[in-house]
Structure 1
Amino acid sequence: MREAETTSPVIKTGIAAFDDILGGGLTANRVYLLHGTPGSGKTTLSLQFLLEGVRQGEKVLYVTLSETRMELMAVAKSHGMVLDEVEIFELIAEEQDLDPDNQYTMFQPSEVELSVTTRRIQDEVERIKPKRVVIDSLSEVKLLAQSALRFRRQVLALKQFFVGRDCTVLFLDDKTARGEDDLQLESIAHGVISLEQLSPDYGAERRRLSITKLRGQRYRGGYHDFSIQRGGLVVYPRIIASEHLKRNDVTVMRSGIPEMDALLGGGLTSGTSVLLLGPAGIGKSSLGVQYAAEAARRGLASILFSFDERLETLFQRAEGIGIPLRTYVDQKLIEVRAIDPAEMSPGEFADKVRKAAEGENGKPVKIVVIDSLNGYLNAMPEERFLTAQLHELLTYLGHLGIITFLVVAQHGLLGNAMQTVIDTSYLADTVILFRYFETRGEVRQLISVVKKRNGRHERSIREFSLTESGIRIGEPLRRFHGLLTGTPFSMKSAEPLTVQNSTIEE
Structure 2
Amino acid sequence: MPSLPRPADLIHTGIPEFDDILGGGLPPARVYLLHGIPGSGKTTLSLQFLIEGVRNGEKVLYVTLSETRDELTAVAQSHGMSIDGIEIYELIAQDRDLDPDNQYVMFQPSEVELNVTTREILEAVDRIQPKRVVIDSLSEIKLLAQNALRFRRQVLSLKQFFAGRDCTVFFLDDKTAAGEEDLQLESIAHGVISLDQLSPEYGAERRRLKITKLRGQRYRGGYHDFNIVRGGLAVFPRIIAGEHSAKREVSVLKSGVPQMDALVGGGIESGTSVLLLGPAGVGKSTLSIQYAVEAANRGEASVIFAFDERIETMFQRADGLGLPLRAHVASGLIEVRAIDPAELSPGEFAHSVRTSVERDDGKDARIVIIDSLNGYMNAMPEERFLTAQLHELLTYLGHRGVVTFLVVAQHGLLGLSMSTAIDTSYLADTVILFRYFEARGQVRQLISVLKKRNGRHERSLREFSLSDNGIGIGDPLDRFQGVLTGTPVFSGSDDELVARPDVFNG
Q: Fold-level match, TM-score > 0.5?
A: yes
Q: CA deviation at 1:361?
A: 5.8
Corresponding residue for 1:207? 207
Corresponding residue for 1:313? 313
**Structure 1 CA distance for aligned equivalents of residues 297 and 500 of structure 2:** 25
Moved more, 102-111 or 250-259: 102-111
Q: CA deviation at 1:422?
A: 1.8
SS in structure 2 at match of 1:405: strand
Q: CA deviation at 1:500?
A: 3.9
Corresponding residue for 2:107? 107
Corresponding residue for 2:401? 401
Deviations 1:224-274 (A, max 9, x none): 111111110010100001000122111111101111011101010011000
Deviations 1:78-102 (A, max 9, x none): 0111112100000101010111111
Corresponding residue for 2:5? 6
Corresponding residue for 1:472? 472
Moved more, 353-362 or 191-200: 353-362
Root-mean-square deviation over aligned CA pairs: 1.5
Report 1:38-53 matches (<5 A): 38-53=38-53
The one-letter code matched in structure 2 to 1:250 is V
Corresponding residue for 2:496? 496
**Structure 1 CA distance for aligned equivalents of residues 117 and 150 of structure 2:** 14
Q: CA deviation at 1:439?
A: 2.0
Q: Is the 2:472–2:501 Cα contact (8 Å) retained in structure 1?
A: no
Deviations 1:400-423 (A, max 9, x none): 111010101111111233222221
Corresponding residue for 1:248? 248
SS in structure 2 at match of 1:228: strand
Corresponding residue for 1:36? 36
**Structure 2 CA distance for aligned equivalents of residues 67 and 357 of structure 1:** 42
SS in structure 1 at match of 2:88: strand
Corresponding residue for 2:293? 293
**Structure 1 CA distance for aligned equivalents of residues 129 and 230 of structure 2:** 30
Deviations 1:342-380 (A, max 9, x none): 112111111111111111366211111111111111343
**Structure 1 CA distance for aligned equivalents of residues 255 and 219 of structure 2:** 42
**Structure 2 CA distance for aligned equivalents of residues 391 and 231 of structure 1:** 32
Moved more, 434-443 or 458-467: 434-443
Corresponding residue for 2:412? 412
**Structure 2 CA distance for aligned equivalents of residues 320 and 264 of structure 1:** 26
Deviations 1:385-404 (A, max 9, x none): 11111111111111111101
Corresponding residue for 1:150? 150
The one-letter code matched in structure 1 to 2:193 is I
Q: Is the 1:13–1:19 Cα contact (8 Å) retained in structure 2?
A: yes
Corresponding residue for 2:229? 229
Corresponding residue for 2:22? 22
**Structure 2 CA distance for aligned equivalents of residues 12 and 408 of structure 1:** 42
Deviations 1:168-220 (A, max 9, x none): 00000111111111101111100000011111111111111000100000000
SS in structure 2 at match of 1:17: helix
Corresponding residue for 2:175? 175
Q: CA deviation at 1:493?
A: 5.6
Q: How many residues align?
A: 500
The one-letter code matched in structure 1 to 2:16 is A
**Structure 1 CA distance for aligned equivalents of residues 498 and 446 of structure 2:** 14
Corresponding residue for 2:382? 382
**Structure 1 CA distance for aligned equivalents of residues 444 and 438 of structure 2:** 6
The one-letter code matched in structure 1 to 2:5 is T
Alignment of 1:140 with 2:130, yes or no, is: no
Alignment of 1:78 with 2:83, yes or no, is: no
Q: CA deviation at 1:382?
A: 3.3
Corresponding residue for 2:370? 370
Q: Is the 2:59–2:132 Cα contact (8 Å) retained in structure 1?
A: yes
Q: CA deviation at 1:6?
A: 3.0
Corresponding residue for 2:127? 127
Q: Is the 1:68–1:92 Cα contact (8 Å) retained in structure 2?
A: yes
**Structure 1 CA distance for aligned equivalents of residues 497 and 63 of structure 2:** 82
Give me the identity figure in percent. Answer: 74
Q: Is the 1:271–1:398 Cα contact (8 Å) retained in structure 2?
A: yes
Deviations 1:405-452 (A, max 9, x none): 010111111123322222110000000011111122211111100000
Alignment of 1:458 with 2:458, yes or no, is: yes
Corresponding residue for 2:265? 265
**Structure 2 CA distance for aligned equivalents of residues 53 and 17 of structure 1:** 17
Deviations 1:39-66 (A, max 9, x none): 1100000000000000110000000011
**Structure 2 CA distance for aligned equivalents of residues 186 and 491 of structure 1:** 75
TM value normalised by structure 2: 0.96
**Structure 2 CA distance for aligned equivalents of residues 466 and 435 of structure 1:** 14
**Structure 1 CA distance for aligned equivalents of residues 478 and 107 of structure 2:** 96
Corresponding residue for 1:98? 98
The one-letter code matched in structure 2 to 1:368 is V
Change (3 A) 1:147 1:242: same
The one-letter code matched in structure 2 to 1:105 is V
**Structure 1 CA distance for aligned equivalents of residues 264 and 384 of structure 2:** 32
Q: Is the 1:33–1:171 Cα contact (8 Å) retained in structure 2?
A: yes
Deviations 1:86-136 (A, max 9, x none): 000001010101111111122112211111111100010000010000000
Change (3 A) 1:363 1:87: same
SS in structure 1 at match of 2:412: coil
The one-letter code matched in structure 2 to 1:6 is P
Q: Is the 2:490–2:497 Cα contact (8 Å) retained in structure 1?
A: no
Corresponding residue for 1:357? 357
